[in-house]
Amino acid sequence: MRVGLKSLLLGMALLTGGPAAAENPIVPGWYADPEIRVFGDRYWIYPTYSDHGETPDLSEHFNEQQKKLREQKTVRPSYHFQTFFNVFSSPDLVHWTKHDHALDIENVAWAAYAVWAPSAIEKDGKYYLFFGANDIQSDDQLGGIGVAVSDRPEGPFKDAIGKPLIDAFHNGAQPIDQFVFRDDDGQHYLYYGGWKHCNVVRLGDDLTSIVPFSDGTTFKEITPPGYVEGSFMVKRKGVYYLMWSEGGWTGPDYSVAYAMGPSPTGPFKPMGKILQQDFKIARGAGHHSVVNVPGTDDWYIAYHRRPLDEDSGERRQLAIDRMIFNADGTIAPVKMTNEGVAARPLPAREANRGETK
What positions carry a catalytic annotation?
A: 33, 229
Contacts of 291 (CB under 8 A, 6+ apart): 36, 37, 38, 43, 299, 300, 302, 356
> Are 356 and 294 within 8 A, CB to CB?
no
> Are 191 and 173 within 8 A, CB to CB?
no
CA–CA gap between residue 199 and residue 22 (Å, rounded): 35
CA–CA gap between residue 218 and residue 132 (Å, rounded): 19
- Residue 179 pairs in a beta bridge with 191
DSSP single-letter state for residue 247:
S
CA–CA gap between residue 343 and residue 354 (Å, rounded): 19
Return phi, psi of residue 15, to 5°: -65, -35
User: In one letter, which amino acid is 100?
Assistant: D
Nearest residue to 180 via CA among 133, 233, 224: 233
Contacts of 212 (CB under 8 A, 6+ apart): 202, 218
